[in-house]
Structure 1
Amino acid sequence: MLNEEYFVPKMKTKSGAAKRFKFRASGSIKRSQAFKRHILTKKTTKNKRQLRGIAEVHFTNENAIRTMMPYA
């Protein structure tokens, strides 16, 4: 049986971050675009088209996301 003195609990992944971010094989982090959920009628077609697709997380935010997702 394990001795409880040496037991280190597992780190938890932040479930909100796991839903929002995915890691690429290269190590970069991809995210979806913001401003696409509601109030779309006042946005132009060009604006909505440019918000399509996947964006990459800025390098200044990568360390924070990696700490939220320790096993990714």
Structure 2
Amino acid sequence: MKTCRAAAKRFRTTGSGKIRRRKANKNHLLQHKSSHRKRRLSQLTLADDSDGNNISKMLPYMK
């Protein structure tokens, strides 16, 4: 089985096995967003449980 390389670059796991992801809206058009908003968008968050099956299929070797 092959790993989907696009997904491998976007997702990581925590120590307990949950899936972490980046937040959207932090790539461009940043001049009108507040510093507080940009700082919040920089933090990693957990992927939703409903996406877990799809992510697991794309990343079969992720623990």
Identify whether the pair has TM-score above 0.5, normalized to the shorter chain. Answer: yes
1:71 CA drift (Å): 0.8
What's 1:33 paired with?
A: 23
Higher-Rg structure is: 1
Alignment length (residue pairs) = 62
Q: 1:19-43, CA deviations, whole angstroms, 9 ceiling, x for partnerless residues?
A: 0001122110011111111110011
Aligned partner letter, 2:34: T
Gaps of 5+ in 2: none
Query: Which has the higher relative contact order, 1 or 2, with Cα contacts under 8 A spaced 6 or more apart?
Result: 2
Gaps of 5+ in 1: 1-10
Aligned partner letter, 1:42: H
RMSD: 1.0
Runs of 4+ residues over 3 Å off in structure 1: none
